[in-house]
Structure 1
């Protein structure tokens, strides 16, 4: 009792108390062990056998049973020490692809580095901790051996189920080496956000490109069609029909004709991202809007591949015009993070009367909700500009 009294007195001098009231009023910082472990099925059986041998040894006093008990306890101790050394001084880095689409398998490269000077690591399971997924759904990769002061390259395959910004929290390295008695894990923090693009839907079934015929103009840039622009030296592997033979004979070298290239018209793709259910359930309406986002991604990808400068206009923002791959990725990133105006799941309030930001020179391709009883378009959606085509969002 005197010893306990001195201990409580020492704790009280440090400002600590073990009374229930103080424990409830003071929030203690959570201590986290650097490594966590759990016993495997083999380990639980091994521990059960060890307990039975210990009971028999203590009851009988038989020296061989004590010797066997010591061997079993030594195996448990050695297993924990070796597994702990295996997980020590390990680093992991990832290499993400430049474009990730929802619903498509993606390969993510991993590089595991063993910083120990002499000891290798064996039987490592490297898992990617992804926010919003259960532990059993984390993608992982197995590494048999990582030598000391060496790196091992591997990869894992994963499918992100939906578009949006996914948060990669880091890695979990697990090992049950050497005897499969215990499985120890260590966590490595490496947070990184990942933008998952919506899966572009094919445009074959949509009446999207009916307006493109006859809408091009000429600009004075090199091309293979159009009016005559200039003469230049012939380049290897070009079409021989572009060679100007008379001029080539006079100059004693191959001279090719340069023609004007047709300029594709700029398209303003307007997407009405408004939560506006018309009798269907919220889940069905959300799925309908997500399919509309995929169709919008497919349309803008097709237009950019055809050389049309495209600007994306939603109820929240407007992008610039562009026709290169980087601009296409920017538009897909906007669609990946797109929210719906009036969505009941949004915490912050949104302006339900939001309209598109358009100019008088915009040639608009509109994706909007169908008015009940027909394909009429609300007047406030396109106050200015030229409407090229209207695509109802509920079009399959």
Structure 2
């Protein structure tokens, strides 16, 4: 039965549009509720009271002027006095209260301005137009001048909005080695609700990039690090309420602690006349471990160290560990016939492990003459010690590390390699000779094969260490 009307089918596009608009309104409502929950109601109440008081004071001031013009001077003076009184009450009672509740540092953020080449040309053009307008009195030149000055004002306002409410997150790998490229992650979040950010450059704050200083034996301070982010990172567009991640390749030239107190965010948007820079406080610190890349010295010393190590541990495979009952599968050459006859059953001898490797790395920080050549050899010794530590970690040897004021336990290399490298990253030469004797005494008591790095002459090494140690003298490097 036909009633004369039909229902038009709903298009998928309109359905999607309605769904998106409803989700947007729901999101806006949830944000509004969240903002209302954190609303400072007493402050807003005083703000509106102050606004009403100042509005009433303005009306009284206008009314007093009208009374004076009509000849009622007494009433005009009274109205003006009431206007001043209301303004004074607001200034004394309300303004300090609101100032205490305002994040003043947000309004006092320092923004540095630097003229670009385009900006210099632009201001020279403005100067020429000013001279021409004043000399000719042409209204059109004044209109052009006003437009150019308005462009400067618009540039300042837009650049302020671009650099507002930006947060930075700079993530580095857990372990960083010197002279080895790494990939870090820089994330910039735009917290603004309505406006995106354009043409943003992130760099290390020059005023806040610190170089770590460490004393040498001569009393001088030499740098151990520097800024972490050593180059600018350009982000062309950051959407509103979104984050943009940029992967940055870094490489640290030497070991040590690198500290950076903050970043600088700059932009030339919109016209490129001025470079606006804002500092962001975000302390970052990274410990750069010594390089573990094999060097020529490592390839020369490794066969010698391995030979000494094998010769020390060779006899241990023939040391008797225990005598136990014979089990199926045991070889006949390990049968102990004397113990078997005594016990009237087959007995088998067990020996210690043939591949047992216990290495003690000893690093002597004493340096007699801390000149440039000696310091260079000291750095080579640090790198070589780090290479050996990494080598014994890779072959899963038992390892221990000894140096002035630091000692690890004898454990598998995977458990002590990073504490060893972290200590080597911060080790510096000392001038105290007493620490060398104490270090040699510790090495004599250690249960393992010692690999000792020292700058001491050969004649000063205790004879008790020669049988169970391999010495690497820094003068040979």
On whether the aligned pair clears a TM of 0.5, the verdict is: yes
Deviations 1:182-204 (A, max 9, x none): 11111111113210011125221
Equivalent in the alignment of 1:127 = 203
Deviations 1:171-228 (A, max 9, x none): 111111111111111111111321001112522121322123262767xxxxxxxxx9
**CA positional deviation for 1:376:** 3.8
Alpha-carbon distance in structure 1 between the residues aligned to 2:134 and 2:306: 87
Alpha-carbon distance in structure 2 between the residues aligned to 1:60 and 1:160: 62
Larger radius of gyration: 2
Match of 2:391 among 288, 302, 320: 302
Match of 1:146 among 222, 234, 238: 238
Q: How does 1:1-396 map to 2 (within 5 A)?
A: 33-129=109-205, 130-132=209-211, 138-202=230-294, 203-206=298-301, 207-213=304-310, 215=313, 263-277=355-369, 282-342=371-431, 351-354=432-435, 355-356=438-439, 357-358=442-443, 359=445, 361-369=447-455, 371=457, 375-379=458-462, 387-396=468-477
Aligned positions, number: 313
Alpha-carbon distance in structure 2 between the residues aligned to 1:341 and 1:56: 72
| Shift in alpha-carbon separation, 1:145–1:310, aligned structure 2, 3 A | same
Please state whether the residue corresponding to 2:400 is helix, strand or coil: strand
**CA positional deviation for 1:326:** 4.9
| Shift in alpha-carbon separation, 1:81–1:230, aligned structure 2, 3 A | farther
Q: Which of 77-86 and 95-104 deviates more? A: 95-104
Contact 1:127 1:138 (C-alpha < 8 Å) held by counterparts: yes
Give 1 or 2: higher helix fraction.
2
**CA positional deviation for 1:229:** 9.8
TM (normalized to structure 1)?
0.72
Give 1 or 2: higher strand fraction.
1
Please state whether the residue corresponding to 2:176 is helix, strand or coil: coil
Alpha-carbon distance in structure 1 between the residues aligned to 2:149 and 2:385: 64
**CA positional deviation for 1:262:** 5.6
Alpha-carbon distance in structure 1 between the residues aligned to 2:130 and 2:328: 97
| Shift in alpha-carbon separation, 1:78–1:134, aligned structure 2, 3 A | farther
Alpha-carbon distance in structure 2 between the residues aligned to 1:174 and 1:230: 77
Contact 2:258 2:288 (C-alpha < 8 Å) held by counterparts: yes
Alpha-carbon distance in structure 2 between the residues aligned to 1:134 and 1:325: 30
